[in-house]
Chain A
């Protein structure tokens, strides 16, 4: 049996996590959404620290910028400067349209920057396209066993 694609969603808004999970559940592919609510948790999850000792290595990180404790840019920077994590695609998924947020994210190694749409049809379209592109169409490096 094929293992599900693991997505780590880092967002402090449970409504966005639920909605994203709901939209991904509709697609035919098998996704598993792991959600954490702040930047420190995200890093613990990725480094399998503490309660995340058995966490899977995600195939995709969906990262909000405005996060408590450790903000999105810091998380992004930690991922992209860690050889064990750097190749995981990171999609920034945020309400910010500020051009300096966009530039900074790409400079730090973000693979894609998406704005959270304000209405359901667009939200569905964006989340489905994101999952399809990064988890079906894109060729990604071989996953390391862990």
Chain B
């Protein structure tokens, strides 16, 4: 405790001496007002990169542990070192701000920038934990530093430390990206504001990190699905063809149990084959880049219908469609969307003659496509589930399938920058709708 008190005492003296040495404009921006010289040596090591834990004692680089300092009320405060950049033309205000921080255990080393150029140079050269900016400065205002940070791609919290700005200006500054606004008359608020801004920055960084982590693990999973399904095909082909050969050669020559078992084996192998193929198709969407081109949806529908020819003939389904637009899309993927949606409409048909209507209408920004049927429909609580991979609402005996089709549709539509959803009334039919942007804005992966 004694050691820490002595050190902070020395720091205060050092800082004061710096100011008493006069305020030369040339050296001003390069001066480091250190509360502790070792701190400034360390300052480049961004605080945010170290664990920002408000632990009661922190290990110093030399292995000593700094204990709590106390504020005026004797409350223990956690000692934190940070490197600040002050955008300020009043030396006295700089010292006041630093003192306010120091009083609560925030040991700040500070550089000072007075012009936009100085500011840009300093943020480029050094890494700062926080920026304390006055609003009104000769020739520029502190908010311009927000723009400079944005241009430099830096995420450093800016706290406006200023005289009264008026509510509108203050709100506008926050909107533009200032983390907080502290009145020079209420500098006691500054330490908490700094602490909060740094906590928020840490949260932002953690969030970004976990987003990146998620994207990476998703990509790995897709890669795995692709490799697994690809390599599964070859052994599966053996199982499928040879169980079929067994069936062909020995059907009716063994006993009825043998016939049944062989049938199970053949059926299982063929289903697994279909599953692996569909999984492969699912993982291909997004893995292979899209070939975006001007695509006539009328042609796309024609291709999809011709692929479904057998199912259409067998079911006697009638498919009507309006005039469909030309969009920017990957043709084969869009064919797949129509084919899966219409194929489902046929598969889940009701007792009355099957009627499927395909239409498109334009809003200001997007086309809304609809595939409406008069089939068995979907219970309202299931309308989101149907797009989840492997999710099936019926037994295989009722309706065959593996629950991949609609998840492929969703993936394709979203990759094209659209949305897909379904509205339905059980027993009356379903209406699957999806959007595609009128101006193709593509979501890059």
Q: Is the CB of B245 within 8 A of A120?
A: yes
Smallest beta-carbon distance B316→chain A, Å:
26
In the bound complex, CA of A15 to CA of B238 (Å): 7
In the bound complex, CA of A116 to CA of B242 (Å): 14
Q: Is the CB of B244 within 8 A of A121?
A: yes
Smallest beta-carbon distance A138→chain B, Å:
26
Choose from B237, B244, B273 the contact partner of A116 (Cβ within 8 Å).
Answer: B237
The interface residues of chain B lying within 8 Å CB-to-CB of A13 are 238
In this assembly, does A95 line the interface, its C-beta being within 8 Å of a C-beta of chain B? yes
The interface residues of chain B lying within 8 Å CB-to-CB of A118 are 233, 236-237, 240-241, 273
- Interface hub of B238, B242, B245, B273 (most chain A Cβ within 10 A): B245
Smallest beta-carbon distance A116→chain B, Å:
7
The interface residues of chain B lying within 8 Å CB-to-CB of A19 are 241-242, 245
Q: Which of A14-30 contact B (CB under 8 A)?
A: 15, 19, 22
Interface size class of B (residues with CB under 8 A): 10 to 19
Q: Is the interface of B mostly helix, strand, loop or mixed?
A: helix
Given A118-B273, A119-B273, A95-B244 contact (CB < 8 Å): no
Contact with B along A91-116 (1 / 0, CB 8 A): 00001000000000000000000001
Given A19-B245, A22-B245, A120-B240 contact (CB < 8 Å): yes
In the bound complex, CA of A95 to CA of B233 (Å): 9
Could you list which residues of chain A lie within 8 angstroms of chain B, going by C-beta atoms? 13, 15, 19, 22, 95, 116, 118-121, 123
Top 8 A-B pairs, shortest CB-CB distance: A120-B244, A118-B237, A120-B241, A15-B238, A119-B240, A118-B273, A123-B241, A118-B240
A116-B237, A118-B240 provided; 12 other pairs, C-beta below 8 A?
Answer: A13-B238, A15-B238, A15-B242, A19-B242, A95-B233, A95-B234, A118-B236, A119-B240, A119-B244, A119-B273, A120-B244, A120-B245
- Listed by A's residue number, 7 A-B pairs whose Cβ atoms lie within 8 Å are A19-B241, A118-B273, A119-B241, A120-B241, A120-B245, A120-B248, A123-B241
